[in-house]
Amino acid sequence: MPENKLYPPEGLRPPSSFTLQSLREAMEQNTVLEDRVLRCDAGHNLLLSLGGIQARIPREEVLSPWISGAQRDIAVLSRVGKPACFLVTALRADEKGAPTALLSRRAVQERAMDFFLEHLRPGSVVTAVVTHLESFGAFLDIGCGIVAMLPIEHISVSRISHPKERFRPGQKILAAVRSIDREKRRITMTHKELLGTWMENASWFHPGETVRGEVRSVKEYGSFIELAPNLSGLADAREDLRPGDGVSVYIKSIRPERMKIKLQVIEKLPPLAEPEPLRYQITDGVLDRWVYSPAGYEKPAVETVFTAEDP
């Protein structure tokens, strides 16, 4: 079971029906709720309407305190039009006597982070939502808007030039904890281990088949063609190929002992309308060690060891 089931990423919590009574009960029971942010006012307070009841998350209650500087302002403004989790901290009446609610997102994030620091460890598999992409990696909401970094080199075994080649903002994915900095309250993620070993990926293909692939890099001696995010093969050099090109390829041979797949490009193909869905081999639990290389591989094994931290 993913460790963030109690504190899922924003947007994945079941919808609620809000009434004054339900908000009062949520406040008394300290229940985490979620709804979409409608506006951000000039004071950087977030405004919501909970079943017609006007609600506000004050600026100082929007974000956890370990986020600071320019990042903080951007994170506040970027919540407009998106779901936000919160606790109800007060119910009041406005000058006309209508009920209003005061909310705190920060309190939820502090509670969630304390839970994560206690329960997560390197190798823990969690559900995440991609929040935004940069050239160096993807930022993931791993629970209640707590953002963790997924460096580009840990997205897949097949190398990509930008995370947008694998993800899109708002996409729900699985990821595993790579490291935890408890002092700075930062969590770094990895993704490639969940996509399967060389043999697991190679088992989907057979010599003699012709399949779709994507050119990842072009060298003088040939082109590396991605068959799956964790599996690539080598085709002979062709002058008309560029990274990112879709191609049909004939599988000439598969050699596990050398971790090699020999391909022949048949022709270039038009781009896909939608990216291929990710296929996960691991979906829950805690990883201790992951070996990508097949048994009998001639070179040292390609592996990841998830080292637990000192208590």
Tell which residue, 133, 142, 146, 130, has the closest CA to residue 63.
146
Last residue of a domain, one of 93, 112, 131: 112
Q: Partners of 305 in the beta sheet?
A: 289
Per-residue pLDDT at 311: 40
Residues of the chain with pLDDT under 70: 1-4, 67-71, 309-311
Query: How many structural domains comprise the chain?
Result: 3
Same domain (yes/no): 177, 203: no
Tell whether 70 and 154 lie within a shared domain.
no
pLDDT value for 307: 84
The enclosing domain of 106 has a CATH number of 2.40.50.140
Please indicate, yes or no, if residue 9 is contained in any of the structural domains: no
Whether the model clears a pTM of 0.85, i.e. scores above it, the answer is yes
In a domain, 298, yes or no: no
Residues 24 and 83 placed together within one structural domain of the fold: yes
- Cα-Cα-Cα-Cα torsion 179, 182, 185, 186, nearest 10 degrees, comes to -10
User: Among 82, 77, 85, which residue's Cα sits nearest to residue 104?
Assistant: 85
d(CA 73, CA 62): 10
211 belongs to a structural domain: yes
Q: Is residue 170 part of a domain?
A: yes
| 283 neighbors 125 (Cβ within 8 angstroms) | yes
Euclidean distance between CA atoms 199 and 122, whole angstroms: 24
Residues 105, 25 share a domain: yes
Which residue among 233, 250, 269 closes a domain? Answer: 269
pLDDT of residue 1: 40
Distances (CA, A) of 80 to 48, 61, 75, 250: 10, 15, 10, 48
Domain boundary among 162, 195, 228: 195
Q: Is residue 308 part of a domain?
A: no
Same domain, 70 and 137: no
The predicted structure's pLDDT at residue 249: 98
Domain extent, residue 140, equals 120-195
